[in-house]
Amino acid sequence: MDKPHRIVTNIYTAQPRLRALSSSGAKVTLSDGKQYIDLMNGKGCVTLGHHHPAVNAAITHHLQSGQASATCWSNQHEELSQRIIDDVGMDDASMALFSTGTEACRAAVQVARLFTGRHLVASAGYHGWGDYWVGADELLAPNASGVVDFYFVPELLEQLLKRHRGQVALVILSPDYVHLRAETLCRLAQIAVREGVLLCCDDVKQGYRSMPASPFRQAVGFHADLYTFAKGLANGHRLSCLVGRSDVMASAQEFTYTAYFDTVPIVAALATLDYMARHDGYQRLVQCGAALAAGMRQRVRQSELPIEIYGDGPMLQIVAATEAMDQVVYANCAAAGLLLYEGDNQAVSLATADVLDELLQRFETALAATRRQAAVGELAPVSPRRRFQAAFCMMDGASDIVAAAQAMQWIEEER
């Protein structure tokens, strides 16, 4: 069993291809009757754990009290917007609410174009499934929507902004702290500022995970002009936002949609952020991710398999020496009762800490099965090219483990 047969979207779901019956904390019960430990966590949007009591209680109270409305602004909207702006810490900021990260990123492009009167957008990372982000036929060429990829390579961004000087409305990048070094992120941001181009930090994935709002300013030393947030906001409920300089955000005055006033995701976000603040949630997520990564690395060393665990915080990636071994690892992890986001980042929730020993035992079982199945030719170590490919899959861009010339060559081959 997999997706409902009337749904056309071919969305990638976790192994094994079963349906969820229930979930609680770090575990999901699937239609085979077994409980699986979840490291997909709604593709990273479940930060507290499934059906967290604080969020459930807030939503239940809100609905039973009759406060919910889909017609007007509420005090909860005021409270959440002020909280997010305070968390970002910009001197003069305003924001717009949306349902998904894709919508927030699209809005960032539109406000930048309206504000600057320019059309082209320089992009690195994944910003959603819309046609804005379809790849172009040639490197550094705009696609049909006027978006040019630079794949996190500073030299490519410099070339792009030089080639299209005076035409670029926005540099939008989604920071990666698994494969990308802080100095590379800083260099990219400095290039945008030096060229006088608006900068958007797309923190849909990484925001509200290791700290309130974004670690971007801490990493590069100054603010972006715009930020997008989504996955860390509401423990799995549909909510995103675009936050930024008030003069730029004024161009978003007409951006609206049918469910703009829906208060349930707002209440879920307030409960989620309140719990994270009151219970050292960000520090605990980082610590749990680090403990998980260390434990997985220890078990990989013991197995003598060519597998690397990249990342030390709330997100990590499991990369085997070959794609074939990757698939064997995923299948064996599923058989051992682990739900993984295949080929992409694994994300811890606060509930992961409660099952950490059990999770590592299941991972060890999966590694033992993989070791029995591994062919001799698969036991070579993970190569720089293989890591590059894995980073490309996870962040839609090049890692910085090789020189720019080599990265550009591999980008051309991966595109």
- List the CATH number of the domain containing 253: 3.40.640.10
User: What confidence tens digit (pLDDT) does each residue in 5-58 have?
Assistant: 787 877 767 667 788 999 999 999 999 999 999 999 999 999 999 999 999 999
Q: What is the CATH number of the domain that holds 38?
A: 3.90.1150.10
- Whether 200 and 333 map to the same domain: the answer is no
Residue 2 included in any domain: no
Q: State which of 231, 252, 278 marks the end of a domain.
A: 278
Q: Same structural domain for residues 24 and 95?
A: no
Q: pLDDT, tens digit, for every residue of 163-206?
A: 999 999 999 999 999 999 999 999 999 999 999 999 999 999 99
Three-state SS for 67-88 is CCCCCCCCHHHHHHHHHHHHHH
79 lies in some domain: yes
Let me know whether 284 and 367 are in one domain: yes
Q: Do 289 and 265 share a structural domain?
A: no
**Residues 295 and 274 placed together within one structural domain of the fold:** no
Residue 98 belongs to some domain of the structure? yes
- The verdict on 354 and 256 lying in the same domain is no
The amino acid at 106:
R
Answer yes or no: is 377 within a domain: yes
pLDDT score, position 412? 86
Same domain, 96 and 238: yes
> Does any domain span residue 357?
yes
pLDDT of residue 9: 79
Whether residues 115 and 234 fall in one domain: yes
pTM of the model: 0.96
Domain residues for the domain of 201 are: 68-278
100 and 136, same domain (yes or no)? yes
Residue 186 belongs to a domain? yes
> Which residue, 278, 305, 338, sits at the end of a domain?
278
Question: Are 210 and 257 contained in the same domain?
Answer: yes
Give a yes or no: residue 13 inside a domain: no
Q: Are residues 89 and 208 in the same domain?
A: yes
Boundary (domain end) residue, out of 246, 261, 278: 278
Q: What is the pLDDT of residues 389-408, one digit of tens each?
A: 999 988 888 888 889 999 98
The answer to whether residues 287 and 261 belong to one domain is: no
| Confidence at 4, pLDDT banded by 50, 70, 90 | confident
Residue-level pLDDT at 248: 98
- For the chain, the domain total comes to 2
Domain annotation covers residue 390:
no
